Amino acid sequence: MSAAADADPAERAARVKAHARQCGFDLVGVAPPELPDAWERYRDAMAAGYGADMDWLQADPDMRRDVRRVHPSARSVIVLGVSYADEAPGYLASPPADDEGYIARYARGKDYHAHVRQMLVRLVRRFAEDPALGFRSTEHRVFVDTGPVLEKAYAQRAGLGWIGKNSLLIHRPRGSWFFLAVVLTPLELAFDAPEVDHCGSCRRCLDACPTAAFPAPYVLDARRCIAHWTIESADPVAAMDPELLGQHVFGCDICQEVCPWNRRAEPTAQVPLRARPDNVRPKLVELEGLDEAAFKARFPKSAVRRTDGRRLGAVARTIRQRNARAGRTVAER
């Protein structure tokens, strides 16, 4: 009998987790392929219009019902977390000046899509080299962010953390400054116990959101969210309310910054994901003036490339003009 056939699902899961830790993942757990309750909540949120103009999020909703619709041979979902916490200043702790923009923490270093994908490729190579697992690296699919998989729901089911009232996945004690990724695998692995909710009576995120983007705890209406306006919206100026935008040029961290579980987050061990100093407090005038070539040169290998020079410039210009109208123009520093 082969070593692979000998190993039971619990042993295999333990090996998978050891490989993940050796590849630098901070969190790892295993979930089953189907989460009907989460899918129903996703479907209800889309029916209520909370998906805004993100057509890709709403196309083919049944795909998100069960990962076997994406990868028919999947028997387990390995869910992974990679911290992007760092010590660079946050929005509330150290507010940007009137001539400065705020780029969300997750997008200040190297693009996580590329970095975490590289980590995933290394991980599945290790799986393929482990005779006790006994499967080829071509037999599974990896996703970080862009696949039709409800990553937070699978992460909660895999025991990585709970979905907080800010709708993000929170780990005790690491908080929420981490990316999620999944490996859909034909391996039969022991599933972890789901994590339970630790929000309790807290509602700081709901109260701190400047745009009142939470119609109910745990539920986000992307039409009102600064992250949607500045990252995903095809026409940010039409989507946004400039009076509620603050100094945000790309993304928003407020509902995480106020979360008590984020107080003690240790800086990430993944150095490329830490903030590039020029992305911490960029000048609005600099961002306003970038043509597409200059934008690409200014943000190489960056998640900020989810937008483009035209849209980023339009957001920066809206903030500067709003401040000027209010007499808040400050001298260049």
Q: Does 314 bind ligand SF4 (CB under 6 A)?
A: no
Active site residue 44: no
Task: Compare residues 163 and 182 and give the one whose CB is closer to ligand SF4.
Answer: 163
Q: How many CA atoms lie within 13 A of 240 on its CB side?
A: 30
319 counts as binding ligand SF4 under rule CB under 6 A: no
Contact set for ligand SF4, span 205-244 (CB under 6 A): 205, 209, 211, 213, 220, 225-227
Least distance in angstroms from the C-beta of 238 to ligand B12: 16
Asked if 295 touches ligand B12 (CB under 6 A), the answer is: no
Annotated catalytic residue, options 53, 66, 145, 308: 145
Q: Is 203 in the site for ligand SF4 (CB under 6 A)?
A: yes
Among 27, 180, 259, 273, binds ligand SF4 (CB under 6 A): 259
Determine which residue in the list 83, 156, 166, 233 makes contact with ligand SF4, applying CB under 6 A.
166
Q: Say whether residue 222 binds ligand B12 (CB under 6 A).
A: yes
Determine, following the binding rule CB under 6 A, whether residue 189 of this chain makes contact with ligand B12.
no
The residue among 236 and 313 lying less far from ligand B12, judged by its C-beta, is 236
255 sits near ligand SF4 (criterion: CB under 6 A):
yes
Catalytic residue list: 145
| Binding residues vs ligand SF4 (CB under 6 A) | 164-166, 170, 199, 202-205, 209, 211, 213, 220, 225-227, 252, 254-255, 258-261
| Binding residues vs ligand B12 (CB under 6 A) | 38, 41-42, 45, 54, 57, 104, 106, 144-145, 149-153, 163, 166-169, 176, 178-180, 218-220, 222, 225, 227-228, 231-232, 251-253, 255
